[in-house]
Amino acid sequence: MLFTLIADRYEKSNILLSSNQPFSKWEQIFKDPMTTTAAAIDRLVHHSSIIELNVPSKRLEEAKASQEKQRIQDNATQSSPIGNPQNSPAEM
């Protein structure tokens, strides 16, 4: 469907496209990596301005921070006597 959109709009209207993958990995997107990928890229780069941003992903950083926070909370719960059923007051 992406190729159809690109082909339909080619030289008729503007397209603004954002991708987290370089063109070299676009063969994983299209069913026919040899012809469709090359044709899509050819249509996109013809008459285009490409702006490449080599900056860290904000979403990836937020996901890593969230996972780390969850890991810390899980470790705190496991080491807490309240969160650990093995250390119940009846056994002490």
The pLDDT tens digits for 20-69 are 788 888 788 777 767 778 888 888 888 888 888 888 888 889 999 999 99
Average pLDDT for 63-91 = 74
What average pLDDT score do residues 61-80 get? 87
CB 55 within 8 A of CB 20: no
| C-alpha distance from residue 40 to each of 37, 55, 71 (Å) | 5, 25, 42
Q: What is the pLDDT of residue 89?
A: 54
Q: Which residues fall within 8 angstroms of residue 11, CB to CB, at 6 or more apart?
A: 46, 47
Predicted TM-score (pTM) of this structure: 0.47
pLDDT at 82: 60
- Residue indicated by tokens 């992406």: 2
Nearest to 9 by CA among 49, 1, 29: 1
pLDDT of residue 24: 81
